[in-house]
Copies of this chain bind each other. A is one copy, B any other.
Amino acid sequence: MNEGSIMYSAKGMISCPVDNTFKIISKKFTILLIRNMLSNQCRFNQFLETIPGINSKTLSARLREMEKNGLIRRKVYHDPPLRVEYFLTEKGLAAKPILDQMAEYSLRHCSSVIFEDGKPRTLQEVVH
């Protein structure tokens, strides 16, 4: 860090924590996969069906990266029929406050593209 007075920098810091998190979650679909896993989706085909624009190849690559980054773990059930499920690790679950703030941001500040009635809302009003 040679950034001196830049927000979120401090003594003894060797890289920017905002930038580091960005590198972990900024690839297309990673945030949406975390979102879906927070809703207890765990299967490849569920992700494929509910995330618009994703395809098998990209989904496989993304899940592999997320596993490598410690965000998810892959569980294989060997009893027939063979099944694979994906779960958020503690490090993956820890991203929930980021997603909450991302949701809150658009609910409040981009409501015209989020809601039929265009009215801003808080996260608390939306999540039950």
Contact = CB atoms under 8 A, between A and B. Distances in A.
A126 interface: yes
A22 B41 CA distance: 20
Contacts of A10: 126-127
Given A15-B114, A50-B6, A21 B102 contact: yes
Given A13-B114, A14-B115, A114-B14, A39 B106 contact: no
Interface residues of A, number: 55
Interface of A: 2-3, 5-8, 10, 12-22, 24-26, 28, 31-32, 35-36, 38-39, 41, 50, 91, 94-95, 97-110, 113-117, 123, 126-127
